[in-house]
Amino acid sequence: MMDQSQDLRIYQIMVESFVNGDDSIGHGTGYGTSHHKGDLQGIIDSLDYIQSLGMNAIWLTPIFHSIPAEGQNHWADRLDATGYFTSNYFAIDPRFGDMETAKALVDAAHAKGMYVFLDGVFGHHKENVVPSPQDRLPAGKSNPVDYPQSLAFYQEVASYWVKELKIDGWRLDQAYQVPPQAWKAIRKSVDDASKSVTYTNAAGDQVHPLGYMVAEIWNNENYITQTGYGSDDDPALCSAFDFPLRYRVLETFAVNENANGGKGGEWLAEGLSLHSLYPDHAKPNLMLGNHDLVRIGDLLQRGNIANPQQPEYWQRHRGALSFLAAYNGPITLYYGEEVGDEVPNFADKASSDICALQGYCDDHVARSSAKIDGVTTTLNKQQGQLRDYVASLMSLRAEHPVIAKGKRTQIKADDAVFIDHKQDANEALLYMVSTQEKPQIQVLQAADIGSQGEMVDLLTQQVFTLANGEYRIPLNGFEGRFLAIKQPSKSGVIAKAAAVSLTGEGFMAQCDNPTVEEKGPRAETLYVVGDFADSGWQHKPQRAYQYKGSNVYQAVVDEKAGAYRMQYASKDWSPQFTAEGLELKVGQEAKLAYGGYGKDTAVTIPQDGRYVWSLKFSDDGRPREIMVSKCQ
């Protein structure tokens, strides 16, 4: 199963906002700007289109019955439409369709060579939850439920739909609500159920459902491991969405939801290197967006980078999508990304007191009506070209397993470019993508990339020949290339490891500076506040700064390796400070600036150890310098 899951190309569908295939049903309300009339028939009507993109799986947001409570208000009606607070886990919501339509959808998808995943909400439910066929109920409160008391109920849910519809697995909502030991048991139930049934696939063979399970844990690598993957010795889940890398991709090709961006290839490479923090069985799944995130097109406009009338808008989409396609492991495409979709007149965050009524809140603005060529619309030229580009990328992944499964070696990563080498027993390939707007030429030494003959661009068929031991590869702004190495050298690719010192120099890098009695330039106590496992954005005593003299404050803390986001703030968050540029490298001094909501400093701690966090201010308390350094 895990080998097959490596090449999953999943198309995510928000059911209520996708396509209206049966006008006699539908919620008619919901969050976001869509028609709110989406249903299962609309998905059936769109399967040919999804297949034409080269996707080999679909994931549906929850389709189970959310039973309206007597007298519930319109906010509860909207929540029912999402399906994320279910009443009856063993019935299809009649506003989406019925069991017969659900079976027809799964059968049709399987016949076209696509897996089908449902959305499992196994940590919370609606207050009026209905007993299972075995007369079980979840225990404790409705959000979250109690484990292990609720385990038998959710094992029954997970197994029931594998047997009833022959689905291929589950996307697991808010997976951190379920303990890893419970996930082990639920995963076994899904495995057992999958082995008990078969269906006919597109090749006419009888196969078992895949049994793939992917967790939604919206946090850093360490937290995803702790709450989802478990350890090498005691594995829980085998796949989780790669939220940490998703943000890096958007910060490189667009901006994140807080309008922070301007990153380059080094930022992407660092994110990939952090996969080393996961256990060996982990298979992260990369996505660019989902129903809770802002679309790339809207983020490009929020960052004042480009709009749909400008070529750069489409170039940046292509760069991000090429990186998605080049990812080692399963990937997920949210509907609309293949056509560069955006919500007109939305870019900045709408006021929180009106955004829900407008459909413009950040956590649901992407739930817009689907633009399905030949079903709901006819695409314009730019949309059609991007759709065709996505289809060509997905075809490459299908035709060249080395892209999704090959051993990757980092070749180059800087402000302008990201270059990876991929190798398996049958093929060697170079993936490269520009991370800047202006054209460039990358000069690659043949010895460094393990090539001794021609290289061919698999998208354009352009041939690059070897001259004087090097290749000259032109790249347009945000262009991605997949270069087949036709004659790999016997010596192979050369991995270059940069020598990096984690220990800085000077007073701010010293871990044994004594605390002094005299008053410093700041009156309040400041803390290192971030998404650390020992604090989780709380002000903790061990992360309080002490005054060391010379206008310098320091906190010495034992840190686990990982990528973290933080600010340096008082308990009431006034003031708060951050690194200028919102990035800090261990062992290097940077400028300190005033912070604020969304202005988090990103720091990667490459090794476990003891570190000193230092802030320096002017005599009158203005921010000057910042450093984090590993203690010697």
Each domain of the chain, given as residue ranges in start order, spans 2-399, 404-485, 507-630
The pair of structure tokens assigned to 143 is: 């959000």
> In angstroms, how far apart are the furthest CA atoms of the chain?
80
Q: How many CB atoms lie within 10 A of CB 442?
A: 17
E runs forming strands in 233-371: 286-287, 331-334
CA dist., res. 341 & res. 390, Å (int): 13
C-alpha 9/C-alpha 136 separation (Å) is: 35
Cβ neighbors of 150 (< 8 A, separation 6 or more) are 122, 138, 139, 140
Return the structure tokens found at 67.
């039973």
Could you tell me the two tokens for 147? 């484990």
The reported pLDDT for the residue numbered 498 is 65
Q: What is the DSSP string of 583-594?
A: EE-TT--EEEEE
**CATH class for the domain made up of 2-399:** alpha beta
Look at residue 241 in the predicted model and tell me its pLDDT. Answer: 98
> Which pTM does this prediction carry?
0.96
Q: Which two tokens stand for residue 21?
A: 């295939």
Residue 233 confidence (pLDDT): 95
Assess whether the region 404-485 and the region 507-630 belong to the same CATH fold.
Answer: yes
| Main-chain phi, psi angles of 120, to 5 degrees | -100, 115
Residue 305: CB partners within 8 Å, gap ≥ 6?
A: 254, 255, 261, 312, 313, 316
C-alpha–C-alpha distance, residues 349 and 360, integer Å: 7
Residue 252 confidence (pLDDT): 98
Structure tokens that stand for 260 in this block: 């922070």
pLDDT given at position 351:
76
The answer to whether 546 and 516 are in contact (CB under 8 A) is no
Q: Is 404-485 a domain of CATH 2.60.40.1180?
A: yes
Cis, bond preceding 144 (omega within 30 deg of 0): yes
Q: How far apart are CA 9 and CA 113, in angstroms?
A: 12
| CATH dotted code for 507-630 | 2.60.40.10
HSE-CB for 184 with a 13 A CA cutoff: 12
By C-alpha distance, which of 408, 410, 409, 415 is closest to 267?
Answer: 415
Distance (Å, whole) CA 349 – CA 258 = 9
Beta-carbon contacts of 438 under 8 Å, excluding residues fewer than 6 positions away, are: 477
Contacts of 368 (CB under 8 A, 6+ apart): 17, 32, 33, 34, 295, 336, 341, 343
By CB neighbour count within 10 A (0-12 exposed, 13-18 middle, 19+ buried), where does 519 fall?
exposed
Which residues of the chain have a pLDDT value below 50?
none
